Amino acid sequence: MPSDTTTRRGRNPRGHGGRLREEIVDAAIRLLDELGDDQALSMRAVTREIGSAATSVYLHFADRDALVLAALERYHAELVRAIDEAVAAVDDPVEQLRARIRVLGDWAYRHPGMYKVLHESTLNQRADMAFKQELTERTAAAIRRCMDAGLVPVDDPVSVMLDLRAAVHGAVSMRLNEPGPNWPPLADQIERFFVKLVGIDPTSGNGPRRAS
């Protein structure tokens, strides 16, 4: 008998190739979350993870970049669903915006490797990740709803969104890349971003911030 003790994956029934594709993406997500670097991922490691032959992976993905993109798109879709669930639990536009941004921070801590690959990998410079636009558009729309309701000062919601996104991403990225005991609680820092960048009233959360 062969000495290789690796459990080989059984052949998918005819017509179930889509299931294998999903298993490959699942494996890539697990490995990328551990590695935090798309360049460190190998197709060989993915095949070992699923217990299948390398040829089966290449039947679904032409190369590593194609597989990483599929993993990132799945990860992003799961993040959007988590945000939608959090937003649906509250009615106030400001609280919906809070829920949206807090999920982003929490998600990054729970999936630090995937977060790095999504935002900091060289793949971002080489590939079109149009799916990421959905989240930015929804955040801008959430800020606009706060403005339309008179809860924050009226401004260009896209500009405010970009400022808020840059601040939150910077805060999260620094914590992941430079962990240490001196960072303030992320939730507290995000609240300061809401006050300074969006104009949320720091005392009540309702109404535009008044100039001092």
Confidence at residue 17, expressed as pLDDT on a 0 to 100 scale: 58
Burial code of 170-199, b = ≥16 C-beta within 10 A, e = fewer?
ebbbebbeeeeeeeeebeebbbebbbebbb
Element (H, E) at 52: none
pLDDT in tens, 46-100: 999 999 887 889 999 999 999 999 999 999 999 999 999 999 999 999 999 999 9
- pLDDT, residue 13, reads 44
Query: So where are the chain's domains?
Result: 17-198
Residue-level pLDDT at 117 = 93
- Residue 15 has a pLDDT of 39
Global pTM value = 0.81
Query: In this structure, which CATH number among 1.10.3720.10, 3.90.1150.10, 1.10.357.10, 1.10.540.10 belongs to the domain 17-198?
Result: 1.10.357.10
Cβ atoms of residues 36 and 116 within 8 Å: yes
Residue with tokens 């590593």: 64
| Positions of the chain with pLDDT under 70 | 1-17, 204-212
